[in-house]
Copies of this chain bind each other. A is one copy, B any other.
Amino acid sequence: MPAAEPVFLFGGIIMGKEELQKAVREAVQRVREKNPMAPSITNTVTINLVANAQLAVGGSAAMVYMPDEGEAMAQLGGAMYINMGTQMPIYAETLIRTARALREEGKTWVVDPVGIGVGGLRMSVLKSFKEFKPGVVRGNASEIIALANLWGLESGVKNDGVRGVDATDSVDEAGAAAVSVARFTGGAVAVSGVRDLVTDGKVVVRCDGGSKFLPMITGAGCSLGGVVAVYACCASPFIAALTGTLVYNLAGERAEKKSEGPGSFQVHFLDELYKASAEEISVQSFSIEEE
């Protein structure tokens, strides 16, 4: 490892960029070999794209709503994805019981706190999730800030700029909140934006790429959460969050070149998720920032 390259402690092992790239390659390859099932409880708007993205990268998908089915999936799946998008009355029971089961099983789970700030049920569930420590939190900048604030963690930003499902804060502004959340959970946080941020609370990685069309299709973020859950079946939360972010940036770049608008972009994007090789994903642009 050249001296110029930042080094850091990851899971007790000193890792540099090359080691991270190797871990990314392994995550991609293991998923394609093992076809792991990453079940979801996710919103009805983008549920189809979540499943198709999970399949495109080599995973298997299964979506449920009922409380006992959430618990069953917590046992059967490798890692699980909970997206807060469209709350339904039964979620008061389903989401809590599922998160508890995941915690008891010691399974990694990924949460997307989409819509944070809207509605009593959503807020009370998100508050409860603090206890069950999701392995990965994925969101836009405003959502990560809002979650850190909801959980009483250091965010450095008093009032988040959540607007419906959109962010008005920048990824840079969410850096402190992301690190706080990752330190608290012991897992990882992925903040999506123009330059994405992925952190395990110790180091911060910034990722480039993607496409102007990604925010113009519904579910780009939601489906990334589902894909991170697939990788989390075969890798640590941090490597899973990084791998998902890299493959999205790569596929986004490639799909944009072939697309005339958001309709064709979504089609090409799924194709590119499928076609991206482990090697190509691992060399997608990212840089390690010292914390």
Residues of A in contact with B (beta carbons under 8 Å apart): 37, 39, 43-49, 51-52, 55-56, 60-66, 68-69, 72-73, 76-77, 85-90, 115, 118-122, 163-166, 216-219, 259-264, 266-275
Identify the 8 closest CB pairs spanning chains A and B, nearest first.
A263-B270, A261-B271, A261-B274, A51-B218, A62-B164, A69-B119, A263-B267, A263-B271
Q: How many copies does the complex hold?
A: 3
The answer on a CB contact under 8 Å between B260 and A55 is no
Inter-chain pairs besides A60-B165, A66-B89, A69-B115, 19 sampled, C-beta below 8 Å? A37-B163, A46-B48, A51-B218, A52-B218, A52-B262, A60-B163, A61-B164, A62-B165, A64-B119, A69-B119, A73-B118, A216-B274, A259-B271, A261-B275, A263-B266, A263-B269, A263-B271, A263-B274, A267-B267
The answer for the CA separation of A73 and B119 in the assembled complex, in Å, is 10
Q: How far is the CB of A73 from chain B (nearest CB, A)?
A: 7
Contacts of A52 in B (CB 8 A): 217-218, 262-263, 266
Contacts of A216 in B (CB 8 A): 55-56, 274
The answer on a CB contact under 8 Å between A87 and B62 is no
The answer on a CB contact under 8 Å between A63 and B48 is no
The answer on a CB contact under 8 Å between B60 and A166 is yes
